[in-house]
Structure 1
Amino acid sequence: MAGGCCNDGCGTTARTAPASPAWRRALWIALAVNFAMFLIEVVGGQMAGSVALRADALDFLGDSANYAIALLVAGMALVWRARAALAKGIVLLGFGGWVAVTAIQRAFEGTQPQAFTMGVIGLLALAANVGVALMLYRFRDGDSNMRSVWICSRNDAIGNIAVVAAAFGVFGTGSQWPDIVVAAILAGLGIWGGSQIIRHALSELALPAEKLRRA
């Protein structure tokens, strides 16, 4: 398992090397899917007036950057993979804070989002994220860099379920609050996931320098 392996200093599982063709191929597919969904959600969020969709669009953009970074450091020494994971964890924490502030601002605006547009785009995003999460599931027990990619994908799938639920909530209540509540959930997921990634990366960076260079 990842935790035990990292404690021993190996940094990755025996099943999947960080530079394996399967890992790189999965990252390229995830990168393409996430960037396409960013473009769809940023336009759809603006059209629907939904803070949850806009937050999710930025999440897709952040994940696209995360996958690009993961591709860049795949095959490098553990110290570089752990540093990349640490940077991604910090960005995810920042994303959570941004969403929280945005949700508070939206609460004072009082504008109701378009439930139908939210629902359609939310379902499309959910299908994309579930597909990516299932594809990356096999890599969840790798080093901190692999684990961070899996955590982001898992959180996105959970978040999109909440976006779809918010669309039904907005439609059923005629209120903006389901949209705001989902934005708050996304903020919590970002903070929680970022904390997990940072903790795992720091545990690897605490290993002896020789192990970090060789792993």
Structure 2
Amino acid sequence: MGSCCGDQCCSPPPTGSGWFRRALWVALAVNALMFLVEIGAGIASESSSLQADALDFLGDAANYGVSLFVLGMSLRRRAAASMLKGATMAAFGLWVAGNTLMHAMAGTVPEAPVMGAIGVLAFMANVGVAVMLYAFREGDSNMRSVWICSRNDALGNVAVMAAAGGVLASQSGWPDFAVAAIMAALALSGAFQVLGHAWREWRT
């Protein structure tokens, strides 16, 4: 962490060297791989929550790439990158909401066993990334955004596993739709957090 004046950091933390850069590369690779796994499973099982989670993995992989690109830049430029990531998270949340509504109107019933198995795999991947990034949760908006992404993903995976059990028990798609709606809310909440923190850094 850099030195601070009151509640404002006067110098950015040394994010361009060492652990944070390596952690971002690992996170990027994990998210890109899980996107390919989940999008295939989501389409095959007709699960709204799996497809939403797959696109979340893709968005996170892109966000980690942006974070790597801005490492070592000024705080203002990193804040601008965080604003872009926050806007991406918000767009994801809105897409998930629309996609969920479409499947709810169609009455789609996804395949619960596929949902459960892929949900467990995705949860393990996200917990690993979240643990790796935990040390950076109190950094600048760029660091906070990658932590928030990984945290939200792990919570979303727990919800997907719960939805799989609900679909299996009820033979209805509504548990899947409910979880997809929760994931949309998580994405929008995280987006507001990232945008708010980045805006304060930008003004500073």
Query: What TM-score does the superposition give when structure 2 sets the normalisation length?
Result: 0.96
Q: 1:89 aligns with which of 65, 86, 90?
A: 86
Cα RMSD (Å): 1.6
Instruction: Tell whether the 8 Å contact from 1:96 to 1:190 is kept in structure 2 after alignment.
Output: yes
Uncovered stretches (5+) of structure 1, i.e. residues with no partner: 208-215
Instruction: Tell whether the 8 Å contact from 1:7 to 1:203 is kept in structure 2 after alignment.
Output: no
Shift in CA distance, 11/117, structure 1 to aligned 2, threshold 3 Å: farther
Runs of 4+ in 1 over 3 A off after TM superposition: 4-7
- Which amino acid in the other structure matches residue 30 of structure 1? A
Determine the structure 2 residue equivalent to 1:131: 128
Q: Report whether the alignment pairs 1:26 with 2:17.
A: no
Instruction: Tell whether the 8 Å contact from 1:6 to 1:203 is kept in structure 2 after alignment.
Output: no
Instruction: Tell whether the 8 Å contact from 1:9 to 1:204 is kept in structure 2 after alignment.
Output: no
Question: In 1, Cα distance between the equivalents of 2:11 and 2:199?
Answer: 12
C-alpha deviations, 1:30-76, integer Å up to 9, x for none?
Answer: 00000000000000001111010000000000000000000000111
- Which amino acid in the other structure matches residue 155 of structure 1? N
Query: What TM-score does the superposition give when structure 1 sets the normalisation length?
Result: 0.91
- Which amino acid in the other structure matches residue 45 of structure 1? G
Uncovered stretches (5+) of structure 2, i.e. residues with no partner: none
Offset of residue 111 of structure 1: 1.7
Offset of residue 21 of structure 1: 1.4
Offset of residue 133 of structure 1: 0.3
Determine the structure 1 residue equivalent to 2:158: 161
Question: In 2, Cα distance between the equivalents of 1:177 and 1:57?
Answer: 19
Q: Report whether the alignment pairs 1:69 with 2:66.
A: yes
Offset of residue 7 of structure 1: 4.0
Aligned-residue sequence identity (percent) comes to 54
Paired positions, count: 203
- Which amino acid in the other structure matches residue 151 of structure 1? I
Question: In 2, Cα distance between the equivalents of 1:53 and 1:63?
Answer: 15
